[in-house]
Chains A and B, each alone.
Chain A
Amino acid sequence: MARHLLHRLWQSALTLVLASIVVFAGIRALPGDPATAMAGEEADPATIQAVRARLGLDQPLPVQYLKFAGRALTGDLGVSTRTGTPVGELIRATLPVTVQLAVYAMAVAVLAGTTAGVLAAVFRGRWPEWAANALSLTALSVPTFWLGILAVLYLSVHLGWFPASGYVSPFDHPVRGLYYLTLPALILGLTHSAVLQRQTRASMTGTLSADFVRTARAKGLGGTAVVFRYGLRNSLIVVVTVVGLQLGGLIGGAVVTERIFTLPGIGKLTLDSVFTRDYPVVQAVVLVITASYIVINLLVDVLYTVIDPRIRVSGRSR
């Protein structure tokens, strides 16, 4: 058990290091010289050279990488070339917004997805299964951003139920904050509920036809108790897996939702920095998103072993 965890920890750390090298190399592969960009096109070669030396760009790439990695480990992610703001500050300002949105959306997805999945499994071959399947197929096919645009149009503009855009921190104004995040979270959550619905349904269908469930029924246990105490509990592992995989994806996938609802999250920061060619920010943001993705996957793995002791022995998952 401890060995398995250590192994996974080591693996995640290695992946993170490799990912940071890829990101670092990728940014260097981009066209354009940051030193020239900072000094201006007409600057004389000496000035450009000075800027290059100040940025450390005159050193060999491996040295540059080690310096970058060393600073990143101490929390120093560099400075935005566009505004001069420390990147760490930018991320501290934007990441909470995205995390709030992702957690809220995941709550919506879990609630909608597992409910629909359980209903589909319990009422197999009857209309609830059809409805649940139709819903998940639609959610899989309809682009999130289109749903978002339509929701803004109808629910915000036409009916006036929700604000069309904007962000209020839930820590300052709990009710208003949640209210502002509700529509984005609903949209993001519903599109992510589809996979959950399918996995829950598949797993529940399997569990409900298992021998021990038949035994429980034969012993006179009621339908609801069987579904919740036996079925749902055994399907929990699937839910955790999918939630873990999706939560990681949600942090990155929030780019689009943040763009539609103009939320000041890390997705917006990513896009802004890509468009303004603010490479230190791009580099840091991609690294932070990837790191959170890796950490979440690691946590899911750990959570598995807690929920399902059988996995402790067999090791590798995902």
Chain B
Amino acid sequence: MTTAAAATAAPDGALPGPGRTHGRALRTLVRNPMGVAGGILLLIVVLAGVLAPLLAPGPPTEVHFSTPFQQPATVGFPLGTDDLGRDILSRVLYGTRASLEVGVLSVLLAVVAGVPLGLLAGYWRWLDALVSRLADLMLAFPFLILAVGLAAINGGGLGNAAIALGIANVPAMIRVVRAETLRLAEADFVLAAHAMDAGPLRVLGRHILPNALSAIIVQATLVMPAAVLGEAVLSFLGLGIQPPDPSLGIMLSDAQNYLLRTPWPGVFPGLAIALICLGFNLFGDALRDALDPRTSGSGERS
């Protein structure tokens, strides 16, 4: 079972191989219609989030007490208004922006904490015992309970939600990177690098890390939708982003209170969350198939 990454890696270490592998992966990705659909959806969602201040008809927190519970397609309020007369389109756009911010921050945290720990654990056996126990311990807590607990300790807010979700995703990242490091440490080009007297940091940084990149990217595509959903859940429960800051989760929580009066404020934020996650899941699936021919779309964390 020689993997593509190991096979194409340049043994002399002049230029690690992933460049070529990723070029082929990109072609595979472009040929996958689901992946392209996911990519387009993702592009739209990211643009909507990034350009929220330009696209939104008004500030997301601006209240219009004279016009609460407007139906969608009302003049001035394309998606209607909520109980305080706040424009739902603006709030959905800014909420999407917040979701993406939390998602990106969580992924960064999971990568920054998980990748070095995984590399070290996979490379040095004596550290492995310690780091793997730590990862096991964190995995002993159910994901949501861990996030709720961390959010309870840190308090609410966008940053703290991202920290809680990022930390909750660290152990899985450690495991993935550790497994890749263990596998790559036995590869011929790593042995060759050792023979040429390359130090551990050089071996890890120049030979193992670039080849483990595919696995890291794949794991990151799993963390992203999980973090977006996690943010929505935390905010829905009141432990994430705090009002009046717009969040898709808070909008749903609010909407639940006056669902009988008007269902629309409960429909659009959920749709936005679903589209964000669908984009990441579709694109992530295709990316996984393209980067790692061994698996075929399986193995998500619930």
Contacts and interface: CB of A to CB of B under 8 A. Distances in A.
* A and B co-occur in one complex: yes
Interface of A: 15-16, 18-19, 22-23, 26, 29-30, 137-138, 140-143, 145-147, 149-150, 152-153, 157, 192, 194-195, 198-199, 202, 245-246, 248-249, 251-253, 255-256, 259-260, 270-271, 274-275, 282, 286, 289-290, 293-294
Question: Secondary structure at chain B's binding surface: helix, strand, loop or mixed?
Answer: helix
A9 to B, nearest CB: 15
Interface in B248-279: 252, 255-256, 259-260, 263, 266-267, 269-270, 273-275, 277-278
A249 B233 CA distance: 15
Interface of B: 133, 136-137, 140-145, 148-149, 152-153, 225, 229, 232-233, 236-239, 252, 255-256, 259-260, 263, 266-267, 269-270, 273-275, 277-278, 281-282, 285, 296-300, 302
B281 A152 contact: no
Contacts of B148: 255, 270-271, 274
Q: Which 3 pairs show the lowest CB-CB distances between chains A and B? A: A146-B270, A252-B142, A141-B277
A18 B137 CA distance: 7
A143 B232 CA distance: 8
A259 B232 contact: no
B145 A289 contact: yes
A270 B144 CA distance: 11
Contacts, number: 133
Contact of B143 (A30, A198, A252): A252
Given A150-B270, A249-B142, A274 B152 contact: yes
A81 to B, nearest CB: 15
A274 B302 CA distance: 23
Question: Secondary structure at chain A's binding surface: helix, strand, loop or mixed?
Answer: helix
A174 B296 CA distance: 43
A149 B270 contact: yes
B273 A143 contact: yes
A28 B88 CA distance: 41
Contacts of A150: 266-267, 270
